[in-house]
Amino acid sequence: MMKPVTGKEFFELMSLAVSAVNGCEMCVNAHEDSLIKLGTTEERIFDAVRIASLVTATGKIIF
């Protein structure tokens, strides 16, 4: 996407979270590389993946 409303960095972060949940190693690596190039901190990446895993777990248990 050329100009995401949420900003390139956050859009990549969301994409990484979705890729992690979908279990696509290739996509995770690609989005992670983009994020590192954009100067994202490791902590932001870890937190995005943490939130993704917790939301998925909540969905699995409750529904």
Partner 1 sequence: MNETTEVIQEILESLGLDKNYRTDSLILLETGESKYVRDFKLNFTSTLTSQFLNNKECGLIGLSIAVNNNNKALTNFFTAYAEKEGASAAEIAEAVGVLHCWLLTMFSIVSAILRKRKNTARYRPAYGCS
Chain residues binding partner 1 by CB under 8 A are 4-6, 10-11, 13-15, 17-19, 21-22, 24, 26-27, 30, 41, 43-44, 47-48, 50-52, 54-63
State phi, psi for 3 to the nearest 5 degrees: -130, 85
Distance CA 44, CA 10 (A): 10
Query: Shortest approach of partner 1 to residue 41 CB, angstroms?
Result: 7
Contact 14, 48 (CB under 8 A): yes
Q: Check if 24 is active-site.
A: yes
Contact 21, 56 (CB under 8 A): yes
Query: Shortest approach of partner 1 to residue 51 CB, angstroms?
Result: 5
Enzyme catalytic residues: 24, 27
